[in-house]
Each structure stands twice: as structure tokens, then as C-alpha cells.
Structure 1
């Protein structure tokens, strides 16, 4: 109620409307796609009834704001009757939210490469208050609303400011038909609302109910998003132009034509839908995820993609007249991502539908890999390098033994004094999980790993840490390094249940821990999950590595 009182006294409608929007956002359904359901939020009607039961100016204001933004006509009528009987003095703009008006024009801010755009619109409340809304639509994520924020003030004042601050010659500001803006943003909001994992920022989706309400003030009947049309004959003509150009010299063979079809599939079917506009972001998506996940082919074929992409980017940007500086930046992204790409296509990885299910959390990616790649086959140079990473180098591999890890206590002396208490909380859960699910050896490995993390990055354990998630992440890392989940029992789900967390995998929480150890978390699972030392490996895992080391090539 103190927050509501402060919002009422601020002199601006925005604080109270923002608070009401945040409250309404709590009750919006969230997709799970087969993952364990999140705890149910409180019932909206029960909360609203509690405000009816308390006769205060603050509850009257909240009721008016919630009803106004909700789109629920019966609730609006009920609130109107209740507030009129209480006699509280409320701002004119609040009592007249249903009289708010849209402001024209709507402004569209677009980048020449088409990754994303801002749509800016405004509404005018009774009493003359204007609120301007800036909404970011990300095309690379499927044309969905990624963020939105509202600022007090007229759109006529905001647009000149935007023009002055946007000095980029590759960004344009144009007017957009208000009805089209409503249709386009409604589509993008609806898609974002069913996207998993949900997009969350400081202001989104907390502001989503307010944005929906504001868009409802604009005229209906507009046209939503339309993608560029690339029928088969247009794509064939594009391929012919590229291969006949200097950029396509030497690339007219079966492999490159096949890969070119894949590039056009990506370029027309994803992002902004224009295969002649390439950006650093689209290059990252293509090389770091899309090709390794989507295209099932041998390494020699896939390895040709980066060079073909460089040639096609130069051709495409020339056709579109895109500035040379942007082309250089985009080609730089190919250079940056190629080493990881070349490593990934040579490594075990989920592909096809299983990759999609792993990405949304319906399958554990490491369980998928365990089924796809149950054992090391042959010892080529890459496999030998993988073994070196697992144990810390060729010398460590040569002298590796199968002596069991000792049952040793946790070394508290290593832990910095200011985080000893939170580390101790994590240790209790780590020990419990290892005792219930694993064995003494893996408990020693997990204890050693926890001590190393506390020394390497004590800040992980400071502040508002989650002891349960940190413990799950430590056990998950130690378990995967030792292939403890490959046998099917225990499962990652068992681990999460042991620490009392309703989540499918601790892989996201493990990422900062792996970075603290100097390990790239995005490549870790594809590289035999190395921790770089045999001191974290059980006797069984070391025996597997020795067998792989000594297996005939």
C-alpha cells in the first residue's frame, strides 16, 4: 500500500499503471512444453476480492487500475460501482481509463540488416497525460516482442529525440499505419507469450498487460507481419546469379549447391526472411546452432559452409547495396564463430527433433548424447586431444591409474572466510546427494570441485545465492565428468529432486561455475565434459579413459 500511495502522489500515471500491469502479468499462463509445471501463482480473483474487502484510497486506486488494464468488462463495471460508493478522491486519468485515446502517428525504427526493430506509439489519458511506448521486436527469435518500456511524455517530443540520438546511417525512422501496428504487435506479443523459455527483462513481461491495453485503443483491421516471398523460381534465379558472379567462382559443384540450398532455406525461412541480408547475429545463429542442429551430413560436407557463407555474404550485400563496413563486421562474425563451428560438427551433439526437445528442456541433452554416442570408437587425433583435456595433458594421460579416490573431508581452509557459511550450506546438499545417488568417490570429486570453485570465484556464493541450485550444479558437473548419468540411473531429475528443486536440469546454473573454472560452458558437454585433472575422476571413469587410450587405432 505504501508503493501505491507513492505512485498516486508521484504526479504521473506511469508508476501506478506499471504496478498494476506487473500484478496482472503474474496471472498470465506460462508455457511448460513438458517440463515440470512452475508453482501456481495466487488466484487473481482472490487478490482482487481482498482489495474489495479493504476500504482504502490505495485499494480503490489499485482496483481502478487493474480493472482498467484487464480488458474484463464485468470487472470494470463492478469496480466502478465499488469505487463510486467509497468516495475516495482519485485522479481523473485513473477514473477515465476507458476514455483514453491513441495518438498518431506510430513510428517504426528499422535496421538495414533486419535483425530487429522498434515500434513506438503513444496514448493520451484524460487530463492530457501522454505516455509513449517503445516496443522491441526481435526477428531472429521468430518476430516476437523481446522488450518494451514506457516513458512519460508526448510522442511529438520523443521522436525528435530519437532522431537526434540515432546517428547510425543504417537505421531508418518511418511512419506506420496505426491499425497495422496493432495487428503486428499483437501477433508478436502472442508469439512471445507462448515461447519457451520465456523472454524476461526488467520490464517484460511485466509491462505486457499495459501494452496490450494500449494497443487495444488503436483501430483494428490492420495487416500483420508479411514475410518476403521467395518462390522456387526466384530462389533458382538467385542461385544462378550468385554462381555466375565473381563471388561464386569455383563453387558450382554438388556440395556447394547443396549447402547453398541450406543457406537459402535459413535465409528465407528464419529471421527477417531475406536471404540477401546477413548480420553478425544471423551468422552466429547459423553457425553456432542452426547448421550443426539441422543439417545431418558428414564432416567434409559441413566443413565447407563457412567459406561458402563468406562468398555469399559478399554477393548478397552487394546486391542489396549494404555498406562495406557492415559487410566487414558480418564477415568478422564468420571468422569468430568458425573455430567453434568446426569443433561442433566434429563432436557428438543432439540433432533433429531431439535437439529441439533438448533445447526447450523436454530432454536432457546429455542423456541424448549418451544414447547417441555410448562409447569412444577408435582413437584418432581428435579423440586423443579429448582425453588430454579430460585429465590435463599427455603426461597426465600417460601416468593415469585406477586407484579409487579417497574418502576425504572437505577442505574448508581453502575457502575465503567471507563465503565459508554459504559454501557450507551448499556442501551439506552436495554431500546428501552424493550419499543418496552416487558413491564416496563421486562425493570426494564433488567436494574438491566445490572447494576449487570457492577459491576461483567466491562471488558465486556471496549475496542472494541459491544453495540448492548451486549444489545441484556442482553435482551435475561432477556427475557428467564421470559419466554418472549415462547408465540411466540416477537421472538428472533424481538429482533435482534430491536438492528439492522443481526444475528439469541445472545446466543453466552450471554455466557461470564452468566459466569460473576456465571452461567454455557451451562446448563443455560436446567435449567429453572435461575438468582438466584426474583428481575429479572416479576410478571407473579413469579406467574408461585408460581403455580408450590403449585401444588399437
Structure 2
């Protein structure tokens, strides 16, 4: 602790509060148990309560200063009260700015975005009691799920920061606009929460070290704002977009069934992953598509997938023209396709060289991949072999094992999810939703013990049921129902169900990958989706001439 005391003394001797805020924030971030992912190696990081207790055991000006800042930054009211009692028995710190630290004002919020929508910087102007001003800058990445990828605190007024950024960017494609403080909170809170669920976590020199400071500022922003509005494309709008492309000068010459089918997959990626706009293609989106997504998510012959680079080149020219984007942006994206294409073709075995992944659907290796994929959906190869296509029964909700202290909230969620299935879906989906709710409530009752909205929990249950049955996609279980329809039914934000779904999946003992929800049991699959899986299973087996 002597080295820490020296660091604290140095921070206290500084001209303002930012250095000590940064130091305590870093200590708190190390102790953040909420950021420990189940897949991470177990470490021996202390809990925040243990850190506070350590400083409370030593009475010194340095520990008093740290405890004062810790009490300000923590969102734990019990811990804050405990520290407050300890500080009440100590002499007040001589630095008057320490005692004024709780009094801060957020006076302005600014969004700095880009027309390609890879991400946004949300900037908050903060005034501390005593005259100090600082700016919180949080970068939210949309390609990775609309989560916080970086953040930092600048000891300058917001106006100075924005003026400097405008000069440095000097880019006609950068978008600046003021947003309300409530909207800023609606942007930031879910992005911070999703970042905490991501493994491996994104880290920089300042993130998540400054996370407690960011949360301290965000906590007191007003509620009721509107966060990022993800672009919404229903099946009709996508069909019309596809028709416009193949009628255009870029697509008319390549209009045939395989290209239309492959474009469906590209539009699936463009609308369901990343920023969600099929008319805006950045370098990063191209790299994700060809570097990982397409070969992993679309199981098809290499000859079929090999057309993707040329098809995307044509579609990007059309899409960027329709969106009114500058030609230089299109040129950058086309150059990225040129760079990625050779590696993508090599990965799928379409470059003329021998590769372990064959290109024909009848090959043993690809057939095994397909069968493994279907087995993962239903819980194993034996379950895949035995899979039936009978409709799920109209189950009653199973209350066995659900603790009494959460029964009331579970009952509310049940009523809401039942009503949604009755109005938008059917009896089979109601059974799936009931089974999911029972599994989650018994698996980890604590997820229903907080103050979160029951509407969000019910929407997340329906979202999980739909994603697990390919309801919102263009695949065999797809329908005209969109995720936005679910959100509108429950009166919640467009991304709220998706964000809550991760914690519910973990509570039920499921994999929390929300990009590809697999519940691993036929009991959660409606008959239509099981029938589609059986048909694909039989097609693969027939191709092997077994």
C-alpha cells in the first residue's frame, strides 16, 4: 500500500479532481465482478466491498480521499452508506473539491457519427462544483452489437473537445448533432451493459478503467429518452430492394435464381447483424462478412459462395447510389472486397487449390458439418435421428421449483408472454415460451428479483423463442413477423428484448450467443421448424447415398 499512498498523494496535489477520479475508477474497475464472464479464467480479484474494507481499516488522509471518491462513484447504496458512516468518524479532507465532488451537472450531450454507421461517439459535457469542466467520450460500436468499445475522460469543456474533433476529422461524412440528456442515457446504458456481457471484453488504455466514472455521470441523467433506432426492414421492403437491384444497371445482367438466393443471405447479414442497414457497406462490414460470417453461417457449395464477392461489388454500387453516399466511400468499400476476396475464396476451397473443406453438398465432410449443425439445434445426433414433426401440446405452465418470492413477477411475465403468443403467434409458441420461462425462473430465480420491467422480460422470452425457431429470418422457420413487431406489442425499445435475452439465456443454462440462439432440445422447437430440419437432414443423408 505504500506505493498506492504515494500515488494518491500525487493525485491530491494536482490542480483538479480528474487524476484522483481516474485512479479510484481504475481500482473499482478491477473489482467489478459484473464484468467476469463465465468463460474467463478464474482470478482472485477482490470484490469492491473488500477493497473498501481495506481502506477503512487504515485511517490516513490518503485512505479518506480514496473512500470519499469511492462513495461518490459507486452505485451500491448500501456500500455508500457504510463508507459514509466511516467518513463521518474521520476528519474532513482538506481538499474542498473532494467534499463538493457529488455535486455535478451534465449540461449537454453530443453525438458524433458517420454516414456508414459503424459506430457513434456520445460526448457528455460535465461541470463539477467548483468550476472544473470535463468531457466524457464513449465510443459505441455497432458492428459488434451496439456496445461500448472504448471511452475516456478529457479534462476540457465539451465545446473545446467538439471544436478540436471537428478540425481533426475534417470529413464531410461525419455527422454531428446535439441530443437530449435523456436520449444520451438511452444510448449509453444498454451499450455499457452489453459490453459487460461480451467475452473476451474490449479493453483499451482507458476502458473499462473509466467505466465507474462514466456510470457515475450517466446514472443521474433523466429517464425516458430514445436510444439508437436500428434500421428496420421487413420482408416486403427487402424483396422490393432486391427487385430494384436486379432491375438496375448494376444487377440486370446477373439476375438469376442463385444470385437472388445468395443476395438473400447478404441481406440477412446486412439487416440482422451489425448496424442493420443494407444500403450502407463499410470496410469493416466487408471484413466481417468475408473474414468470418459468410463461410460460417451459410452452409452451401463453394461454387455457389464463390459468387459472393462479385455480387457484393455490384450490390454495393447500387446500394450506395440509392443511399446517396459519396463515390470515395464506395471506392473504399470496393477495395476492401478486392482485398478480402482471395482469402475468402481460399477459405471455402474455391481458388483451385486443394482444401480440407470440400465444395460439393454430397461430400462427407460438408455433410458432417451440416448434420453437426442440426444436431446442435436439437441436442445431439440421436435426437436428430429421432426428431418428429408433431405439433407441441398446449402445455400448462409448470410452477414446480419456482420460489415464492418471485412468483408474482413470474406470473406477470407469463400473462404478458401468453397474450403476445395469442395475438401474434400460436399455441405452439405459447408452449415454448412457457417452457422457457419455467426453465429460466428455476435455473436462476435472481433474474426476476430485480426492478427490471416485466414487459422487457416477456419480450425477451418471445424473442428467444422466435430466434431459436428461425422466426425472424428468411430461413425455413421464417415469417413476416419482425423483431420490431414484438417490441411494439410490448411497448419497449427496439433493442430492449435482445439486450435482456443474454441474461435470461444464461439463467436458463443455455448458450448466451444471441446471434445464433440454439436451445439444444426439441421441446423448444415448433413443429414447422422441426419439419424443416428433418427435410434438410434427409436431403443431406440422401446425398451421401446411404
Q: TM class by shorter-chain length? A: 0.5 to 0.7
> Residues of 2 paired with 1:93 and 1:237: CA distance?
60
Match of 1:229 among 224, 229, 232: 232
2:83 counterpart of 1:53: no
Q: By how many angstroms is 1:84 displaced?
A: 3.7
1:20 aligns with 2:36: no
Greater Cα offset, 30-39 or 15-24: 30-39
Q: Where do 1:308-457 residues align within 5 Å?
A: 308-346=311-349, 347-348=355-356
The residue correspondences of 1:29-428 to structure 2 (distance < 5 A) are 29=33, 35=39, 37-104=41-108, 106-346=109-349, 347-348=355-356
For 1:207-266, what per-residue CA distance to the aligned partner results, in whole angstroms no more than 9, with x for missing partners? 111111111121112122221110111111101100000000222111101111011111
Structure 1 runs not aligned, ≥5 long: 359-553
Does the C-alpha gap of structure 1 residues 74 and 331 become closer, same or farther in structure 2, counting only changes over 3 Å? Answer: same
User: How many Å separate the matches in 2 of 1:246 and 1:345?
Assistant: 29
- Could you tell which deviates more after superposition, 346-355 or 53-62? 346-355
Measured at CA, do residues 48 and 138 of structure 1 come closer, stay the same or move farther in structure 2, by a change above 3 Å?
same
Find the counterpart in structure 1 of residue 476 from structure 2: none
- 1:47 is displaced (CA, Å) by 2.1
Q: Extract unaligned runs of 5+ from structure 2.
A: 350-354, 358-365, 377-546
Report deviation, 1:80.
Answer: 3.0
| 1: CA distance, partners of 2:76 / 2:371 | 40
Separation of aligned partners in 1, 2:36 and 2:370? 20
8 Å contact kept, 2:65–2:93: no
Structure 1 CA distance for aligned equivalents of residues 202 and 372 of structure 2:
22
Per-residue Cα deviation, 1:4-34 (whole angstroms, up to 9, x for no partner): 1111111121111111111111122366766
| Matched length | 355
Q: Secondary structure at the match of 1:110?
A: strand
Residues 88, 185 of structure 1: alpha-carbon distance in 2 compared, 3 angstrom cutoff: same
| Structure-2-length-normalised TM-score | 0.62
Structure 1 residues 70-110: Cα deviation after superposition (integer angstroms, max 9, x where no partner) = 11223323333333432243433322333222122x11111
> 1:133-190 CA distances to partner (integer Å, 9 max, x unpaired)?
1111111011100000101121122222222222011112111121011111111010
Secondary structure of the structure 1 residue equivalent to 2:230: coil
Please provide the CA RMSD for this pair. Answer: 2.1
Q: SS of the residue aligned with 1:250?
A: helix
CA contact 1:61–1:90 (8 Å) conserved in 2: no
TM-score (norm 1): 0.62
Q: Structure 1 stretch 234-243 or stretch 153-162: which is displaced more? A: 153-162
Question: In structure 2, the residue corresponding to 1:87 is in which secondary structure?
Answer: coil
Q: Is the contact made by 2:8 and 2:62 (CA closer than 8 Å) also made in structure 1?
A: yes
1:122 CA drift (Å): 2.0
Structure 2 distance, partners of 1:165, 1:252, is: 44
The answer to which of 33-42 and 51-60 deviates more is 33-42
CA contact under 8 A between 2:287 and 2:336: conserved in structure 1? yes
1:354, CA displacement in angstroms?
8.0
Question: What's the CA shift string for 1:412-461, capped at 9, x where partnerless?
Answer: xxxxxxxxxxxxxxxxxxxxxxxxxxxxxxxxxxxxxxxxxxxxxxxxxx
Structure 1 runs of 4+ with >6 Å offset: 349-355
Task: Tell me what 1:543 maps to.
Answer: none
- Distance in 1 separating the partners of 2:45 and 2:56: 20
Look at both structures and tell me which one has the larger radius of gyration over its CA atoms: 1
